[in-house]
Amino acid sequence: MTSVAVVTGASSGIGAATVRRLAAEGFHVLAAARRTDRLADLVREVDANGGAATAVGCDVTSDESVAHLAAAAAAAPGPVTLLVNNAGGARGLDPVETGAIGDWQWMYDVNVLGTLRVTQALLPALISSGAGTIVVVSSTAGFTVYEGGGGYAAAKHAQTAVAGTLRLELCGRPVRVVEIDPGMVRTEEFSLVRFDGDADRADAVYAGVSEPLVADDVADCVAWCATRPQHVNVDRLVVRPLAQAAQHKVHRAG
């Protein structure tokens, strides 16, 4: 039977790229996100390229919506063997001293509790498949702090803690837990969301960096981890562009 993969945050960026890549690897992909119009376009693209995908409207901050995703997974044409917890994001670049509580709350709910909700909902199916994999797309902010990034780093540190704890708790059961931590990735929306649509501030993040990572680079990492033999668990994969030696060390031309 065809293996089923579930990808959250699938309407753009890393999520959409991961749907395309996993479909090319032979998975039937449940593409889950809030913006169902974008998902419909993505599914049509996947189908046109010979893959198989199904759009599922899902808000990872809603228990009811995640329950709907679990029901869709139960009705999928095969066992659910892969969950990619990709939904997440950042808001603001304010210091802790003046950080907006609402922004911090949103980042925690989407990045951490969203991962928790979806994982809890789909874990029984992943276990019963006999060969499950959970991929948590976190960030290098999950282990390194930086000025102005307190809220995002706190959320990603927590997401990292969830992944590590889950791996310990699932030891002895047939589910791998993989954490992927990208550094600088240029996607169409991440920085725009962070800066509330301010394109100039968003572009400044990548100024002078000729080749930041792109969504396809991270999707390639997800697919590689997910397609290793089942006894191989890639605990943590850290991926950055060549120009970024560390969180605080980026080569910028000029």
Q: List, in order, residues 6 or more apart from 153 with CB less than 8 Å away.
A: 141, 142, 144, 145, 146
Cite the active site residues: 152
Token duo for residue 185: 């990735």
CA 189 to CA 140: how far, in whole Å?
18
